[in-house]
């Protein structure tokens, strides 16, 4: 890649991961990468459900790679809006895949732990059979299948429990509630791997500059329950909050949540790529950065 700037086009640039990627080189010098040119498009400038939009934008910028973050992510609402979920996550992904293929760009599709049923007892590998139980999970799996069918040079990257500096997420919600209340209930019977958008963005930008195509699981190392994650958030932030465990059944939701969604990162190891750090370390860095921003 020496001597040539590598251009990455990001869809869904207004989402929490999309913003992390788009603002990558606007950060501190340690994160800036002069060999990278990152251009981001939100829904206002690129509607992925309109094929002509995808074709026009991709042809205009001719990126080396597309990181497709745009998605319908309202897990509960998807149960009553299946057509909308599939319109964005399946048909929209088809449009992105075809438009990327036409200009010769690599394609990275960001997927989810919801493609699994959550009944496992060991970390899911990239080659375990998906069995989504929600409309959201089924629509994201449909996107995976369309990428595999319509593009030859693709990376499918499944992640879980995302949080970061941009947008709404569990960590921000806990910090807000923790500043308002002395006691909270959080479910303890759902186990997964919290993932920092900063660490995921760093991984994606390394991955797209390789030719190691295929399916990847990319979450921070280690696992915990939402209850354990909430306790860690308050410990790292110094907030004195009593966290009580409760069951999923005590907080019913329209869409079932996976009881176990820990993913094994075998493809990262096999291909010699940089693994993501432990979730507690990532959380500590996030809380430190938030404090620095407020000071």
Q: Which residues lie across from 199 on neighbouring strands?
A: none
Eight-state DSSP code of residue 129: P
According to DSSP H, which parts of the chain are helical?
A: 16-22, 51-61, 75-78, 82-86, 93-102, 135-150, 170-180, 197-207, 226-237, 266-270, 279-294
Token duo for residue 278: 């432990």
* Spatial separation of the C-alpha atoms in residues 245 and 165, rounded to whole Å: 26
Residue 227 known to be catalytic: no
Q: Return the residue matching tokens 């449909």.
A: 142
Q: Give the CA-trace dihedral at 235, 177, 256, 124, to 10 degrees.
A: -20
* Spatial separation of the C-alpha atoms in residues 101 and 109, rounded to whole Å: 13
For the chain, give the number of residues: 295
Burial of 141 (0-12, 13-18, 19+ CB in 10 A): buried
Map residue 112 onto helix, strand or coil: strand
CA-CA distances (angstroms) from residue 211 to 103, 155, 206, 207?
17, 9, 11, 8
Instruction: List the catalytic residue out of 86, 114, 124, 136.
Output: 136
* Spatial separation of the C-alpha atoms in residues 47 and 12, rounded to whole Å: 9
Cβ atoms of 13 and 21 closer than 8 Å: yes
Token duo for residue 231: 């306790």
* Spatial separation of the C-alpha atoms in residues 185 and 188, rounded to whole Å: 9
Active site residues: 136
């Amino acid at each position: 890649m020496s001597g040539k700037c590598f251009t990455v086009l990001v869809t869904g640039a207004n989402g929490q991961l999309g913003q992390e990627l788009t603002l990558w080189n606007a950060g501190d010098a340690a994160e800036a990468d002069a060999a990278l040119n990152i251009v981001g498009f939100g829904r206002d400038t690129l509607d992925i459900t309109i094929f002509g939009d995808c074709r026009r934008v991709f042809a205009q910028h001719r990126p080396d790679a597309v990181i497709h973050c745009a998605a319908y992510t309202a897990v509960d609402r998807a149960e009553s809006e299946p057509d909308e979920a599939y319109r964005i996550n399946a048909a929209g992904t088809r449009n992105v895949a075809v438009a990327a293929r036409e200009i010769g760009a690599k394609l990275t599709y960001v997927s989810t732990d919801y493609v699994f049923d959550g009944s496992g007892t060991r970390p899911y590998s990239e080659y375990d059979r998906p069995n989504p139980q929600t409309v959201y999970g089924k629509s994201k799996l449909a996107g995976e299948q369309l990428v595999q069918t319509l593009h030859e040079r693709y990376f499918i990257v499944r992640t879980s429990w995302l949080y970061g500096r941009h947008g709404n997420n569990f960590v921000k919600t806990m910090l807000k509630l923790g500043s308002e209340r002395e006691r909270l209930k959080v479910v303890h019977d759902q186990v997964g791997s919290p993932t920092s958008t900063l660490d995921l963005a760093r991984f994606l930008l390394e991955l797209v500059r390789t030719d190691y195509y295929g399916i990847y699981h990319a979450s921070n190392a280690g696992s915990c329950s939402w209850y354990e994650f909430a306790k860690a958030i308050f410990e790292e932030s110094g907030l004195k909050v009593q966290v009580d465990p409760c069951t999923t059944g005590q907080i019913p939701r329209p869409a079932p949540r996976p009881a176990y969604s820990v993913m094994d990162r075998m493809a990262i190891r096999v291909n010699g790529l940089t693994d993501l750090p432990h979730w507690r370390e990532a959380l500590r860095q996030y809380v430190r950065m938030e404090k620095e921003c407020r000071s």
